Amino acid sequence: MSGMVIIGGGMAAARACINLRASDYQGPITLISEEALLPYDRPPLSKASIMEEGEPQPIWLLEPDIVASLKVDSKLGVAVSKIDRAAKRVVLTDGSDVAYDKLLIATGAKPRSLGPHALTLRDHKDTLELRKRFVPDKNVVIVGGGFIGLELASSAAKRGCKVTVIEAQPRILMRGVPEAIAKIIHERHVAAGVEMLTGTAIETINAHSVKLKDGREIPADTIIAGIGASPEVWLAQEAGLTIENGIACNAQMQTSDPDIYAAGDCCSFVHEQMGGRRIRLEAWRSAQEQAATAVANMLGGSKAHVSVPWFWSDQYDLGLQITGMADMGPRTVTRIVSNDALILFHVAENGTLMGASGIGPGNSIARDIKLAEMMIAKQMKPAPDALADPNVQLKALLKG
């Protein structure tokens, strides 16, 4: 008997299982994950899981009793080797196969490699390995000044390591955040004792050092590649699905095969709220929301995915949050919330608010970013002077 089949072991896969039953779907659900673990939360891997005193346990998204109550057949520690679209079956590496009515691909993204001497972070066992290496006075070299690299730099510095971050671009977080916010994060890392080398190219990486093109050699007990991730698309590609910056989906999270959907880091989709632009999001909440959209449509709906993108990162005591699409707002309006917190609003030429980026201690900017997200969803055109004035409450602008 065929039913709903979900490939993956992260947030999108877990959320799909829950949403299918919450939507009163009574048929079979099969979850297939290459990891021998039930789905667990990934964001803590670079932060809390490394900093915990005792041996960290995965933060489960689906615990065994929940899997049982949802009547999900979980096939763990086995991968899908082939999607047979004609027969509507997936073939597994153990030789078995599973029939599907609808299939959801939620395979995530895989860290880009820098060869055998550089570790990467993707799963729980990677975190356990890094914990063993992050001990006081050890030299940790992180190649890449993106979010994962910087979160690991923060964790390593807190554990007493001598940390060096090497970034080839002129500044850190070149794609991720505006320059004003990147500067604050850069300075916070320097204050924590991290050596930040930007605009710096690498010549070679060996077991115990990283050699730079300018001739310097940085000693390393541990080298980590933090140079981004590539969407896991090979299964979809082999099956002949359209690939465009990930598995290409329409606004309904449906692939080029009407019976196959995708969600999370592995796919790109058309975002009607963002001018019909095709985007791929590597974010925890986006994976949840995309899975919810996919499930609604797998069950016969025609729901377009219009959730406003949202992303967060912790850097030491600083909380960073981003909503919307900053690069779609060429005009920047700055709000100084306090001495150590600011929000940048990204406004389109026609005055529409397209994005907001904020940073400050703890959750100091969280409420305002949430209000900005609501304004973006409503495609509002708030007055720039009001956005810039910290005495004008964003809640009042939203009501207005």
- Residue 399: the pLDDT is 84
- How far apart are the C-alpha atoms of 253 and 288, rounded to whole Å? 12
Helix (H) or strand (E) holding 74: strand 72-76
Q: What phi, psi does 234 have (nearest 5°)?
A: -60, -35
* Same domain (yes/no): 104, 245: yes
399 contact partners, CB below 8 Å, separation of at least 6 = none
In sequence order, what E strands does 77-221 have? 80-84, 89-92, 97-105, 109-111, 139-143, 162-167, 195-198, 202-206, 209-212, 217-219
* Same domain (yes/no): 207, 339: no
Q: Exposed, middle or buried, 79 (CB in 10 Å: 0-12/13-18/19+)?
A: middle
Confidence of residue 273 (pLDDT cuts 50, 70, 90): confident
* Same domain (yes/no): 119, 218: yes
In this structure, what token pair is assigned to residue 102?
Answer: 């609808």
29-36 mean pLDDT? 97
| Average pLDDT of every residue of the chain | 96
Q: What is the largest distance, in Å, between two alpha-carbon atoms of the chain?
A: 65
**Residue 90: pLDDT above 80?**
yes
* Same domain (yes/no): 348, 395: yes
**Residue 71: pLDDT above 80?**
yes
Of the candidates 298, 326, 341, which is a domain's last residue?
Answer: 298
Q: What is the pLDDT of residues 286-314, one digit of tens each?
A: 999 999 999 999 999 999 999 999 999 99
Q: What phi, psi does 14 have (nearest 5°)?
A: -65, -45
**Residue 1: pLDDT above 80?**
no
- Cα dihedral 361, 363, 365, 371 in deg (nearest 10): 180
- Cα dihedral 359, 321, 372, 361 in deg (nearest 10): -40
What is the domain range of residue 372?
317-399
Q: What is the pLDDT of residues 134-144, one digit of tens each?
A: 999 999 999 99
Sheet with strand 277-279: strands edge to edge: 247-248, 267-271, 277-279
- How far apart are the C-alpha atoms of 113 and 120, rounded to whole Å? 7
Residue from 339, 348, 343, 351 nearest 369 by CA: 343
Count of other CB atoms within 10 angstroms of residue 264: 34
- 164 bridge partner residues: 141, 195
Confidence of residue 73 (pLDDT cuts 50, 70, 90): very high
- Please, what is the angle between helix 147-158 and helix 179-191, to 10°? 20
Q: Is residue 303 part of a domain?
A: no
Residues 245 and 231: beta-carbon distance below 8 Å: yes
- Residue 163: the pLDDT is 98
- How far apart are the C-alpha atoms of 186 and 7, rounded to whole Å? 38
- 267 bridge partner residues: 247
Count structural domains, the chain.
3
SS3 call for 281: coil
Confidence of residue 130 (pLDDT cuts 50, 70, 90): very high
Q: What percent of the chain has pLDDT over 70?
A: 100
How far, CA to CA in Å, does 320 sit from each of 123, 173, 185, 314, 384? 23, 12, 9, 6, 22
* Same domain (yes/no): 126, 185: yes
Q: What is the pLDDT of residues 316-373, one digit of tens each?
A: 999 999 999 999 999 999 999 999 999 999 999 999 999 999 999 999 999 999 999 9
Q: What is the pLDDT of residues 241-272, one digit of tens each?
A: 999 999 999 999 999 999 999 999 999 999 98
Residues 261 and 291: beta-carbon distance below 8 Å: no
In this structure, what token pair is assigned to residue 63?
Answer: 């615990």
* Same domain (yes/no): 8, 49: yes
* Same domain (yes/no): 219, 294: no
CA 293 to chain centre: 18
Residues 133 and 155: beta-carbon distance below 8 Å: no
57 contact partners, CB below 8 Å, separation of at least 6 = none
Q: Is residue 78 part of a domain?
A: yes
**Residue 176: pLDDT above 90?**
no
* Same domain (yes/no): 90, 167: no
- Residue 275: the pLDDT is 85
**Residue 123: pLDDT above 90?**
yes
- How far apart are the C-alpha atoms of 280 and 250, rounded to whole Å? 12
Confidence of residue 53 (pLDDT cuts 50, 70, 90): confident
Of the candidates 225, 240, 266, which is a domain's last residue?
Answer: 225
**Residue 204: pLDDT above 90?**
yes
Q: Is residue 309 part of a domain?
A: no
Confidence of residue 233 (pLDDT cuts 50, 70, 90): very high
Q: What percent of the chain has pLDDT over 90?
A: 96
* Same domain (yes/no): 38, 102: yes
Residues 186 and 171: beta-carbon distance below 8 Å: yes
Confidence of residue 214 (pLDDT cuts 50, 70, 90): very high
* Same domain (yes/no): 184, 207: yes
* Same domain (yes/no): 234, 105: yes
Helix (H) or strand (E) holding 271: strand 267-271
